[in-house]
Amino acid sequence: MSISTALVAERKKSKTVGILSATSNVTVSLETVVSLEGVSVSFRVPKEKVISLKEYVIRFLKGQTLAEEFQALKKVSIDINRGEILGVVGRNGAGKSTLMKVIARVLKPSDGRIKTTGDVSPLLELGAGFHPDLTGRENIFLNGTLLGHSNAKMESRFNDIVDFAELWDFIDAPIRTYSSGMVARLGFATATAFQPDILLLDEVLSVGDERFHQKCLNRIEEFKAAGTTFVIVSHQSDFIRTKCDRALWLDRGKVRLIGEAEQVIEKYQSFLYS
């Protein structure tokens, strides 16, 4: 615990420096783009899966409670700064994906407040938002508009998307004929066709072959250089250690530690293997 407070103190210090530099007209490096203030998310978890109306009515009449509350996030407060890469680690069920959903507007916090500045683009899991019977071309437009882009915008970037995914030969074939690597390439290329202000990656980077993987990393570097903020959930500690500026360790819905990536990963791993 003492380490986490120390890190927080250090962060505060660096933030003051950032503000000072801002006043002296140096590039603002510490503008908060995602801010969570005491965010809690409660799920109603059915005690047993009730899915039929009959069961529901019977239980309701018997006065049985149907669900219990489960807090996936407990009073999480973090500020994420423009242009930083924040890695999120934690064991299964620690609340990592819930955190991403809160940032992506999919879940509303049950308590607390979240503010984001700029457009948030979540990189969907493999194949989500694609329809297997539509062609690659049609899926680019479907997926792009799902992400909130207009048809015209997608049209303007269409060639670049197919170039990046290297799928010109298959673009008019239904994607049920694609290999999973091809689908992943198309998904990544479409989702990153426009530089978002905030990009959310939830365990999606281990896709495609080695060469494409490198291409993805290069694109992330480009975005970072241009000011995109990243929140990345990954179980690959090396990735977090080498690519992320800061890391957040979630443990049963609470912030266990936040700070410099290397240090957080070290603590996290010694916790995991102790």
Rounded-to-integer distance, Cα 91 and Cα 101, Å: 17
Q: Which stretch binds other proteins (CB under 8 A): 88-96, 128-136, 162-170, 205-213?
A: 128-136
Identify residues 37-56 at the interface with other proteins (CB under 8 A): 43-44, 51-54, 56
Amino acid found at 19: I
Rounded-to-integer distance, Cα 31 and Cα 8, Å: 17
β-sheet bridge partners, residue 178: none
**Dihedrals φ, ψ of 169, to 5°?**
-70, -20
Nearest to 146 by CA among 165, 126, 123, 167: 123
Q: Which stretch binds other proteins (CB under 8 A): 139-147, 180-188, 234-242, 255-263?
A: 139-147
151/179 with CB nearer other proteins: 151
Choose, by CB under 8 A, the member of 109, 136, 253, 259 that binds other proteins.
Answer: 109
| C-alpha triplet 180, 91, 104: angle, nearest 5° | 65
51/225 with CB nearer other proteins: 51
The pair of structure tokens assigned to 53 is 């109306």
Distance in Å, CB of 267 to other proteins, minimum: 29
Q: Is 23 in the site for other proteins (CB under 8 A)?
A: no
Nearest to 41 by CA among 257, 268, 252, 235: 252
Choose, by CB under 8 A, the member of 68, 133, 163, 209 that binds other proteins.
Answer: 133
Residues at the site binding other proteins, with contacts judged by CB under 8 A: 31-32, 35, 43-44, 51-54, 56, 101, 104-109, 112-120, 122, 124-125, 128-129, 131, 133-134, 138, 141-142, 145-151
